[in-house]
Structure 1
Amino acid sequence: MTAPRSGTTGTSARADALPRTPAGRRPRWDQAPTVVAVALGGAVGASARYGASLLWPTAAGTLPWTTLWVNVVGCAVMGVFMVLITEVRPVHPLLRPFFGTGVLGGFTTFSTYAVDAHTLLDGGRPRTGFAYLALTLCAALAAVWLAATVTRRLVAWRQR
């Protein structure tokens, strides 16, 4: 058995390894509801994306339209959602992690976007691969911007 380190009063090395907050206290499990909200939302979003891939499968070597539209729709919904929760009315603190991070994070799939582009490029279809990269990027950015702009205008119109 070893002697305790200076400054400790018999606490185990394992307890000393736990992270501490800036005030020096060990953190409570305050983030557990947020983690659960994100996990549940992610399951919903990923299930919806999987359902879309079953409904509209993509043939090998072609532009992955389903992934493109999933990402564009997810970005548009994010534009609407962010305007509503930041500019229109306050919402429950767990709604943003559940819906924004969880549902929309699980629904959109930019990792699949990268894999699809890589598959097209490696499969000898560079034009299709680069077109897919550019089209998804431009469409997703345009979707979030357009959805946020339209939502702001509709909200302002309703408030008159």
Structure 2
Amino acid sequence: MAGLAGLGAALGALGRYGTTRWLQKVSGNWPVATLLINWVGCALLGLLTGWQIAHLWLVLLGTGVLGGFTTYSTFSHEVVMLLDQRRFAAAAGYLSLCIGGGLLLAAGGLWLGWQLT
């Protein structure tokens, strides 16, 4: 199981790297890449949970791919950097969007997964 999670994490990290590089070209001075990556991860993990997929798939896709794709540490770092730059409104907005949006998307994914079951 650990190897399966590790394989998935490697794929997720590569996906995050490529997505981040692509989105940074259009996002300017706002951490859009991390926000969108984490939102997608929240929605998909909610979907997988609600769908009640087999444990093996949850390890590969949930723990592995989505665990490697999403990033709490980068999100936290970006909030701190916005605060360090004295961009308090941007930090508050980013924090609210990340947490509030993530919770709503996880709940929506969970609901959609229940519908698919």
Q: TM-score, normalised by structure 2?
A: 0.90
Q: Aligned to 1:97, what secondary structure does the other structure show?
A: helix
Which has the larger share of helix?
Answer: 2
- Is the counterpart of residue 69 in structure 1 residue 36 in structure 2? yes
Deviating above 3 A after TM superposition, structure 1's stretches of 4 or more consecutive aligned residues are: none
Percent pairwise identity: 33
- Is the counterpart of residue 83 in structure 1 residue 45 in structure 2? no
Larger radius of gyration: 1
Whichever residue aligns with residue 112 of structure 2, its letter is V
Q: In structure 2, list runs of 5 or more residues that go unmatched.
A: none
Whichever residue aligns with residue 99 of structure 2, its letter is L
**1:86-105 paired onto structure 2 within 5 Å:** 91=54, 93-105=55-67
* Alpha-carbon spacing, 1:95–1:151, altered in 2? closer, same or farther (3 Å): closer
Larger RCO of the pair (alpha carbons < 8 Å, separation 6+): 2
> For the aligned residues, what is the CA RMSD?
1.4
Q: How many Å separate the matches in 2 of 1:151 and 1:105?
A: 19
Within the candidate set 127, 146, 154, 2:89 is matched to 127
Q: How many Å separate the matches in 2 of 1:46 and 1:102?
A: 9
Q: TM-score, normalised by structure 1?
A: 0.67
- Is the counterpart of residue 46 in structure 1 residue 13 in structure 2? yes
Q: How many Å separate the matches in 2 of 1:139 and 1:124?
A: 23
Work out the number of aligned pairs and report it. Answer: 115
- Is the counterpart of residue 117 in structure 1 residue 75 in structure 2? no
Q: How many Å separate the matches in 2 of 1:103 and 1:41?
A: 4
